[in-house]
Amino acid sequence: MTEPNVQSSSVISPRQAGGLAAVGFLAFSEVTSGMLQSWYIPLIPKIGQRLDVNPAQLNWVLAAYLLSTVICVPLLAKLGDKYGHRRMVMVVLGSVALGTILTATAPSFGIFLLGRAIQGTLGALLPLELAILRERAGASSGRAIGILVGCLGAGGAAGTLLVGLLGTNASLTLVLFVPAALVLASLATIALFVPETSTRATGSIDWTGAALLGIGLAIFLVGISNGSKLGWTSATTLMAVGGGLALLAAFVALEKKISTPLVDLNLLTKGGVGFLLGLTGLFGLQFYGAATVSALYFASKPEVVGYGFGLDSMGIALAITPVPIGIMIASSLADSFARRFGTRTALQMSAILISTWFAGLIVFRDSQTAFISMGFVGGAGIGLFVAILPALVISRARPEDSAIAGALYNTSRTVAGAVAGAVFTAIMSGMLISGSKLPTESAFVAIWAVCIGVGVLIFVLAPFLNKLGGKAYQPETIEQLVHLPVRESS
């Protein structure tokens, strides 16, 4: 009896058809996610006034969220691989709704930060949804992932504009409640219309590994984030960075010994995912590390420091809108572009566009219109990258490891962005206008030049994608192809 040809079938199974129908409902949750992720930054001054905290303490509004993301995402992704990805998506949305309500009603800054930490589970949403799409959308998963990432960008653009408008015309409590309503609507939609996946990882959850990874990354990032403030050679900084690295080393040693690790290190070394995560980290250096820098340039008053455009919070919201619009458009076209020209070419085009963006920021830093317009070019490059890389990462993992592979993608971006943020802060702290604590224009130029260099490095590394990036997971049986449980013969 001949084996069925599992590579050439063009028939869409009922399971995949249901998955394609679910893309729209998942897309709504990504719009909500994008809005929530862009919601708090324009409100930071009002949050500080309401809760009576100083600007230095307000750095924790973003830091608490990022640290929680680093800790929660790998664990939630692994739980999704074991107990069901749709189930964990609902857990994520429920916890995010709770955290959002806490931020809206918080009587103190500590409670507000608790809400932000609970919201950090949102980082697991995209990896879990990518796992659902891998099973349900089949050969169309690349296009579906592009749609989801595009919706994330659209949500970011809409959230930036909406919060800028509401923040100047409504009470802070009401503005902070808006994302909670959207998250609850997403939860109801997922519960009613999105089917559960069937693939399950076996074995127990590696809780010790989760603790070592989460705590190690958190301590390391705290040390990096405060290095410029406390001093890079201070005992506190060295203990935090060194202690975090020691815990991460212990995590690696543990994962090599146990039979059911939180992260299968073979996925990084033999599956080629490690190379892809390296590219993702370089991207995170650019995107997350320089995001705040550009916002600061928009806000800088030229009559005071000799550069910038002196925009207020609403002006900044409008000025950064071209970036998420570019992300939305490019990510929706990324799958078609990659199919026509190749994945390597698509990644190199992404690197060219992002580097052109930062070069434009240097060249047009005295022209507000041109400076803002370059954001669309950068957003297009970002959209190509974030639509292609996660699909590559999860395609190189076994189906039962889909969510944890996506979580590693998310974590590598976050960690790289946090490191870059600290390094860029050190650059700005070391290049100050004489007699003040304000950075010189040269500090901004230096940071953008670093980002150009990182883009060039991604361009150079992209041709090694097929050699070092591994191959897509190849199923051995027809049951694995459609992700149905494999029945043992009687």
- Cβ neighbors of 148 (< 8 A, separation 6 or more) are 23, 26, 27, 30, 126, 129, 130, 133
Residue 431 in any domain: the answer is: yes
- Statement to judge: residues 84 and 127 lie in one domain: yes
- Statement to judge: residues 65 and 108 lie in one domain: yes
Mean pLDDT of the region 150-158: 81
- Statement to judge: residues 337 and 377 lie in one domain: yes
List the end-to-end C-alpha distance of the chain, in Å, as a whole number.
19
| CATH (domain of 350) | 1.20.1250.20
Reported as a single tens digit per residue, the pLDDT across 247-296 is: 999 999 998 888 888 777 777 776 678 888 899 999 988 876 676 678 77
Q: How far apart are CA 268 and CA 422, in angstroms?
A: 26
Residue 246 in any domain: the answer is: yes
Q: Which residues of 214-249 are buried (b: 16+ CB within 10 A; e: fewer)?
A: bbbbbbbbbbbbbbbeeeeeeeebeebbebbeebbe
Residue finishing a domain among 197, 217, 240: 197
Residue 7 in any domain: the answer is: no
Q: How far apart are CA 338 and CA 125, in angstroms?
A: 25
Over 80: is that where the pLDDT of 140 sits?
no
Burial class (CB in 10 A: 0-12, 13-18, 19+), 15: middle
Residue 330 in any domain: the answer is: yes
- Statement to judge: residues 166 and 213 lie in one domain: no
- Statement to judge: residues 241 and 151 lie in one domain: no
Q: What letter does residue 437 receive in the DSSP assignment?
A: S
Residue 286 in any domain: the answer is: yes
Q: Which of 409, 375, 381, 412 is nearest to 285 (CA)?
A: 412
Q: How far apart are CA 300 and CA 319, in angstroms?
A: 13
Residue 461 in any domain: the answer is: yes
- Cβ neighbors of 49 (< 8 A, separation 6 or more) are none
DSSP SS3 for 432: strand
In the structure encoding, which two tokens stand for residue 202, read together? 């076996």
Q: How far apart are CA 298 and CA 309, in angstroms?
A: 5
**To the nearest 10°, the Cα dihedral for 357, 361, 367, 373?**
20
In degrees, rounded to 5, the angle at the alpha carbon of residue 21 between the alpha carbons of residues 16 and 26 is 105
Question: HSE of 247 in the Cβ direction (CA atoms, 13 Å)?
Answer: 19
- Statement to judge: residues 86 and 216 lie in one domain: no
Reported as a single tens digit per residue, the pLDDT across 18-62 is: 455 677 788 889 899 989 988 887 787 788 889 988 755 676 787
- Cβ neighbors of 187 (< 8 A, separation 6 or more) are 90, 93, 94, 97
Residue 4 in any domain: the answer is: no
In degrees, rounded to 5, the angle at the alpha carbon of residue 225 between the alpha carbons of residues 220 and 231 is 100
- Predicted confidence at residue 95, as pLDDT, reads 97
- Statement to judge: residues 20 and 121 lie in one domain: yes
Q: How far apart are CA 462 and CA 457, in angstroms?
A: 9
Over 60: is that where the pLDDT of 154 sits?
yes
Q: How far apart are CA 174 and CA 179, in angstroms?
A: 10
Residue 251 lies in domain = 206-261
- Predicted confidence at residue 240, as pLDDT, reads 92
Reported as a single tens digit per residue, the pLDDT across 409-460 is: 877 887 787 677 767 877 887 788 888 878 899 989 999 999 999 999 999 9
C-beta atoms surrounding 202 within 10 Å: 9
Over 90: is that where the pLDDT of 347 sits?
yes
Reported as a single tens digit per residue, the pLDDT across 165-215 is: 887 788 899 999 999 999 999 999 999 888 888 877 777 788 898 889 888
Residue 121 one-letter amino acid: T
In the structure encoding, which two tokens stand for residue 269, read together? 């070394």
Over 60: is that where the pLDDT of 14 sits?
no
Residue finishing a domain among 197, 221, 244: 197
Please give the full DSSP string across 341-361, using - where no structure is assigned: H-HHHHHHHHHHHHHHHHHHH
- Statement to judge: residues 226 and 338 lie in one domain: no
Q: Which of 200, 152, 118, 179 is nearest to 26 (CA)?
A: 152
Q: pLDDT confidence of 486, banded at 50, 70, 90?
A: very low
- Statement to judge: residues 371 and 292 lie in one domain: yes
- Statement to judge: residues 36 and 55 lie in one domain: yes
Residue 10 in any domain: the answer is: no
Q: How far apart are CA 292 and CA 283, in angstroms?
A: 15
Q: How far apart are CA 301 and CA 447, in angstroms?
A: 19
Q: To the nearest whole number, what is the mean pLDDT of the chain?
A: 81
Number of domains the chain is built from: 3
- Statement to judge: residues 303 and 350 lie in one domain: yes
Task: Report pTM.
Answer: 0.73
DSSP SS3 for 271: coil
- Statement to judge: residues 191 and 248 lie in one domain: no
Residue finishing a domain among 151, 172, 197: 197
